[in-house]
Structure 1
Amino acid sequence: VSGKNVSALAFNEVALLRQTNQAAHIRILVNGTERVERLVADGVLLATAAGSTAYNLSAHGPILPLGTEALALTPISPFRPRRWRGAVLPAAVEVRFEVLNGVHRPVSATADYDEVRDIVAVDVRQHPQLRHQLLFDPEHALDERILREQFL
């Protein structure tokens, strides 16, 4: 652990993933309140509406319609807690992930395509000023595809 702080922007998701064959042990706090004491899993991700139909959907997370001011918090192949399948959170929350026993169970974090290995903790929050405008082909409306995907 170098003690270095790294900042990155993500449009789709932030994901924490185990680096070895050992399951990751991750503590999850939402707005400073512990919500999951110890997630034992291959990882966890926090997806925006735009990212909810990609990795999040493959991890059995919910699809969020475009324009939704929410985030999908989704465990990846969870072992413990047994019945926790994730949460839908307001977009304005701050989520902190803390790696437990990272020396023996190292974890990497990705913000879309940027990866940092051997992390100790990750803080995620919505940037207060950055906004994106998405352009779509009117013949292939993404919002209709997202709606249709929920009924397959």
Structure 2
Amino acid sequence: MDLPENPAIAFMASQRPEARAAAERLAATYGNADLSSADVVVALGGDGMMLEALHAVLGRDIPVYGINYGSVGFLMNNPAENDLLDHLSRAEKTSIHPLRASGTDISGETFFALAINEVSLLRETRQTAKIRISVDGRIRLDQLAADGIMVATPAGSTAYNASAHGPILPLGSRALALTPISAFRPRRWRGALLSHDSKVRFEVLEPEKRPVSAVADNQEFRDIVSVDIEEADDVRLHMLFDEGRALGERILIEQFQA
């Protein structure tokens, strides 16, 4: 990774005590730059902390290097406190595009969000959600009855998408996963693979009787009527991984896990 010899590092840590303690030790050794002047962000915690750090650098050309002090840590590297600068200098960069979501709720208010992993629609009550699905301006499924549905990026395909039995996408696949969540009708529908430049529209049927939320990573919007989702090809985010542990390799390995 092409960083300065002594990069200005901004540390971000989750609320886990071990992550906050590590951040204090690292800041004492390497300094702690303000985000506005940093060359690189080091995020300490789990995958949620990585997503938070990536959202913090949206609009800035600043890479994020994650150190795992969480549980799964799929997007993180192993702890490297004593030789952090060496790890940063040799790290491999992975660049991704997030999803852009825009929609309207039942009161007519509009919302906008960017999502790195997925945009999901989820039922809010015991009532099954009923959703119409359009892709590239054409209705592809007039009514899905399910707990919800999501659009996932390749980077996010190993997260919620995989838990909902969606496909794991190679990082360079230029594809999106359209995955239902506990589909009731059509019962055998398992979703679809879409081109990365597809434009997806979800319309909630009976939104007052069957309220639905839209969730873009960690942002939730309640009682929605519709949401449009597409790749934000004008936004690029950069993650750093230790040699031999690039995200594309991790996604490949994940496909062979029992």
AA in 2 matched with 1:74: T
Q: Are 2:176 and 1:71 equivalent residues in the alignment?
A: yes
Q: CA deviation at 1:128?
A: 3.1
TM-score where L is the length of structure 1: 0.96
Deviations 1:28-65 (A, max 9, x none): 00011111111000000000000000000000000001
Partner of 1:138: 243
TM-score where L is the length of structure 2: 0.57
Q: CA deviation at 1:139?
A: 4.6
Alignment CA distance shift 1:74-1:89 (3 Å):
same
CA distance in 2 between partners of 1:91 and 1:139 (Å): 26
Partner of 1:10: 115
Runs of 4+ in 1 over 4 A off after TM superposition: none
- Gaps of at least 5 residues in structure 2 are 1-105
AA in 2 matched with 1:97: F
Identity %: 62
CA distance in 2 between partners of 1:38 and 1:65 (Å): 29
Deviations 1:82-119 (A, max 9, x none): 22100010010110000000111000001111110000
Partner of 1:109: 214
How many pairs were matched up? 152
Q: Which of the pair has the greater relative contact order for Cα pairs under 8 Å at 6+ separation? A: 1
Partner of 2:194: 89
Moved more, 133-142 or 9-18: 133-142
Instruction: State which structure, 1 or 2, has the greater radius of gyration over its C-alpha atoms.
Output: 2
Deviations 1:110-140 (A, max 9, x none): 1111110000000001123111122112253
Partner of 2:157: 52
SS of 1:143 mapped into structure 2: helix
- Gaps of at least 5 residues in structure 1 are none
CA distance in 1 between partners of 2:219 and 2:227 (Å): 13
CA distance in 1 between partners of 2:201 and 2:175 (Å): 16
SS of 1:120 mapped into structure 2: strand
CA distance in 2 between partners of 1:82 and 1:34 (Å): 19
